[in-house]
Structure 1
């Protein structure tokens, strides 16, 4: 689990995207960076945040009685482990059987994770979870490369995104804002490490075994 000591890196990454300083994807300005609307809103409704949101990607039956929300960072090794080891088993037993629906939300802890999150969003809703899986499975290769994003971009050709599409995606302020907003919703519901799971609103942090998660799902179904 990446803990709150590393979250500072995520805050810097998100602030930098908001200011538009990465890779020259937004023009420099002489005045202060605009403050996103989310920063000036009233206290968040945590229960509402932990419901399905219009921009969420939902895997599984949207009417499934259990909602599993995962906040994760693409450069977090523990997130990669959960998504490549535990999640496939959860998918078989719970998601594919219509009992659980999964919502993945970005909580990038560094610049590279934030940019990877943008690319995943640009892959399209129908390919989104396949791309998330691809990113995590290849994490050991692209995240340690001298140019992580260039290495990651090679994989996106499978998703129909060439160099032109990748550059356009990274330059799209709406996509960047989506990643920022996802990060901020995580902050608002108390996320300070990755991965953090919410099962019907109940928070689970740290390493969780399949048995523990099975028990949590079963308890909810048997209420």
Structure 2
């Protein structure tokens, strides 16, 4: 009887703990606004990132800041809205791979692709005429598959749990490609983004801020103020 009471008490304690535990904010993603709002929707501070996958400065920022921003997001105090700046077919291809699968997978997809930029961006910059012909001619879906193959982007996504068939299906989604392009244009009209990466905090675009060292003081000051 005593053992049974102890077991019931343990179950009750576990139930109470799970009921009060916060969710994993790094997997909470809202795409309703056209971007990817990652984290607690009731967070005190809303950080917006405007990112181009083919921008070397964006790659440098990711190397500096990805882990730190995850800490801020996981705390529930900061929600991060990642918004694509689509500059060219390579940008679009990478963005489509980042968006492959359920929204909850986007944060890790995005991080994996941007952190791998030093491996695949030089391949894009040194593309042969034959490769460029495949990237800019033929069906749009075939162009994106050629880019993904030539830049070894499939190799980045397979360890994320994707197979080639699934990735090709995502890359063939012309409606998604159109939506990503149109959203990038709409964001540019709304925010007048002059360079990437660019950032906004609580809806106010920051000027001259493009590194983690420059962004973090703004973020911390806003957190302190709230």
TM-score normalized by the length of structure 1: 0.68
In the TM superposition, what whole-angstrom CA distance separates every residue of 1:135-163 from its partner, at most 9, and x where no partner exists? 11111112222565210112111233322
Counterpart pick for 1:99 among 77, 80, 105: 77
Q: Give me the CA root mean square deviation.
A: 2.3
Q: Give the ranges of 4+ consecutive aligned residues of structure 1 lying more than 3 Å apart after TM superposition.
A: 52-56, 205-212
Report the equivalent of 1:111.
89
Answering whether residue 49 of structure 2 is matched by residue 70 of structure 1, we say yes
Query: When the two structures are aligned, how many residues end up with a matched partner?
Result: 172
Structure 2 gap ranges (5+)? 1-30, 132-146
Whether contact under 8 Å (2:209, 2:215) holds in the other structure is no
TM-score normalized by the length of structure 2: 0.68
Structure ranking higher on relative contact order (CA contacts 8 Å, 6+ apart) = 1
Report the equivalent of 1:135.
113
Q: 1:185 to 1:67 in 2, by over 3 A?
A: farther
Whether contact under 8 Å (2:197, 2:210) holds in the other structure is no
Residue 205 (structure 1) shift: 4.4
Whether contact under 8 Å (2:96, 2:177) holds in the other structure is yes
Residue 181 (structure 1) shift: 2.6
Matched position secondary structure for 1:88: helix
- How far apart are the structure 1 equivalents of 2:181 and 2:210? 27
Pick the structure with more helix per residue: 2
Structure 1 gap ranges (5+)? 1-51
